[in-house]
Structure 1
Amino acid sequence: MNTSFTESARGSNAGSSRAHTTTLRNPDQGSANPAASLAALWNYLEPALHHILCSPSTTPGKAPSIDVAYHVGIHTAVYNYFTSQSESPANYVPSRPNGKGKEVSSSGTDLYQQLDRYFADIAQENLLGAPPDDASLLEYYVPAFERYSTGIQSINRVLNYVNRHYVKRSVDEDKGWLRLTDVLESVAKAITAEDTREKISAKLREKRREELKRWGYVDGGSTELMAAAEACAEAASSLDRVVSVVSLGHRRWRIEVIDPLLAVPKGKGKKKKPSASTTGDKGPRGRLARSVKDLIEGPYALEPNSIRLVESLANSLRICGIRMDHPLRKKLDKFLASTKNG
């Protein structure tokens, strides 16, 4: 990585005026064809992705931009790359994204895995930049995540063709976040020999709705609400599931940042567990939980900035795939409910 993302995240959310973000122009490729190989395509894409995701931004909630020509160039290059790979006789599944072995194309799988590795690298840099003391962890975490998430959403738009071509096709091939095998057992029990294919499909859709309700969807909800719930479900999925680019980025944040911060350090919490009366939940807790406890049980718990930090943390846990029955999510929801009722 060429830029410290964690520093840029702090600067953008603190309203720093030292960083002036410019629109990144389309690089001169000469006669080179960005779609000729994965290496050529990535060399063309990475400066744009890094600018969007890592460059300092003076406008909270808005990622640094690339010019129209670069945006169109990326769309064209990705389209041409996918088209050429679909027609290639070497179209088969590559090695796992572990940095070992030779990768071969699988009609976009290699680019998708490259994106996943890139998001993992950026997320890991954020974790490494976290302060060692729990007291300042939330002050660091919230702006870092908001900057990252804003960039991921922008990249999702720039790489829309990845979603339209590779992700959609993978979902159609039963490689998405919810697969037939995940629901087959429960659905099979409700299927009779007289059921038509349409009835079976309807029962599968109902199972999907039940899963989405765990992420905030309600019957009769809008398509936007369903899409938001599905994005959370995608981010909660395992690495073998193909998800949209935005969920790919949020899933990596969960795995590389949230999960380690939720984990209990080895050797701690084994001899004596904190009591439920003092913690509000059972069992030992990781850094995020300790930081939350310090904040919401401290003298400044009801200050607007404290409430904003809690709201932002709760939102990040949700959209990154931490389930609503997780102790920390329940603790955050309870605190926020008390501030509204009070």
Structure 2
Amino acid sequence: MEEKNQTLVTEFLLLGFGNLHNLRIVIFILFLIIHIMALASNVFVIVLIWVTQSLHSPMYLFLSQLSLSEILFTSNIVPNMLWLILVGEGRLSVSRCLSQFYLVSVPSIAQCFLLAAMSLDRHVAICRPLHYAITMTFPHQLQMVTTCWLLGFTFPLPVYIFLCQLKFCCHNVINHFFCDIAPLLRLSCSSTSSVELVTVVVSFPVLLTPFMFITVTYISIIQTILKIPSITGRQKAFSTCSSHLIIVCMYYGTLSAIYIFPPKDNSIHLNKGLSVLYTLVTPLLNPLIYSLRNQDIRGAIWKYVTFLKLWKEV
């Protein structure tokens, strides 16, 4: 009877970064520049791979999908985050908040499986080079990419459905800049045991399975590389995997810091800082890492730069 008399919450109050005083404009401009650079660099990678014939290979197809996932992810969080910085706080309806959680989860989960697909591509290329052309055919590539995105849309769906069944009453303040699952569960005035159980069940195939697969494939890759007699051959093989390994470490490192080993409640500012790193900095670094460390992409960029110079001279 008491629960029925409680007023149901229809919107949430997101506190964002609190009162930033005179730093508000500076932080807004800084975050806006980083966001624009992240979007531009990821769009640039997709377009470059699309128009360059020499980059039409499985590794770069997966890389373009990785950039697409970054664009979708940041576009669902950063615009609202920038608004919160300007106004200090903002309101989202319950339905919009839950939808934001789902739309943020889709590219995040797809990225986990895309990273696993990229490790499989490197494993076949290095450990079974004679079978590469047969194994990584274009229909097979499309099947892998489609599967990654289908899993991205499917896995968060049961969590979203159970979240929609929760009731929120009295308290509606989220001390964050986007709708994450942890603050939503804390605000619920109904039982969250079913949501927590589904979240744990989903987390294993989403996080643990791709990570274990990447670990096993790279153990095999490293063992194969160490058997290469030529130092130059070993360096070339390592260079094709180093960019992917760096991104895997960054991605799973930030995920672990935020969700697997989260800061305590009194370290909410640290949690926000890690989330900013995850939503702003990582999407900018990923395309830069591949662009700066990948010889094929550098070559393609230089080819178009040279073409533009010659075209201007004419």
Q: State TM-score, norm by structure 2.
A: 0.24
Q: State TM-score, norm by structure 1.
A: 0.22
Which one scores higher on RCO, CA 8 angstroms, separation ≥ 6? 2
Indicate the structure with greater helix content. 2
